[in-house]
Structure 1
């Protein structure tokens, strides 16, 4: 199967919002992180990130999540490598990353450990990426 970061971003964002509205915070939180990751990778591709024939990032440094424990590299930071050119000047992200306490491995955590105060910044971060995706679509970047 080929990677489709744009479709994955929209799908994960929509499901996260649906789950958030239903009070299913643990799964919503996980999907907010994945939605942000997919959206950023799609924007990175628009700004020059090369992909393999199956749609994965060619550079292994770009094959990271929005945040991972014990790893200094993450998509939120890698994004700066690509958007810094003239075309990406109006596509900046807030710093620091709202995902500093998010980790892909939290999908294994007990749901009682994921509460609303923890989810809120992740939802906001994913919303920022979602807005950048919409902007890029309107402006014909993607």
Structure 2
């Protein structure tokens, strides 16, 4: 099988939104993080014009700066002609998200915890739409 980060982003985003509406906070939260991660990885590939290296295949908040996907995208967009169209917030909304949280009890998740992750994933979706409009995809 071949990787398709942008398709994976859309799939995870769509499912996260369905779970969010159903108040299924734990799984929605998990998928928002994966949606953001996949979208950022897809954008990095397109902006860089190459496949990701093994050290770039990290989760949205895995590793130390700038080794996670959020910080890698921030670094990647600088110096690119279209980079100014992808303005990132001052702080990463996924600082309290980790892929291992899929093992946590669902009672540890609520809307207040999920909403910042939803907004972060929504921003990545907007970046993908901008990249598409700009002919970068």
Tell me if 1:41 matches 2:68: no
Aligned partner of 1:61 in structure 2 is: 55
Q: Is the partner of 1:86 in helix, strand or coil?
A: coil
1:53-132 correspondence runs (5 A): 57=52, 59-68=53-62, 71-72=63-64, 73-84=67-78, 85-132=80-127
Is the 2:85–2:130 contact (alpha carbons within 8 Å) kept by the matching residues of 1?
A: no
Give, in whole Å, the separation in 2 of the partners of 1:93 and 1:30: 21
Instruction: Please report the TM-score for the alignment, with normalisation by the length of structure 1.
Output: 0.90
| Structure 1 runs of 4+ with >3 Å offset | none
Instruction: Please report the TM-score for the alignment, with normalisation by the length of structure 2.
Output: 0.93
Q: Is the partner of 1:30 in helix, strand or coil?
A: helix
Give, in whole Å, the separation in 2 of the partners of 1:88 and 1:110: 39
Tell me if 1:23 matches 2:1: no
Aligned Cα RMSD in Å? 1.1
The aligned length equals 134
The gaps in structure 1 that reach 5 residues or longer are 52-56
Q: Shift in Å at residue 49 of structure 1?
A: 5.5
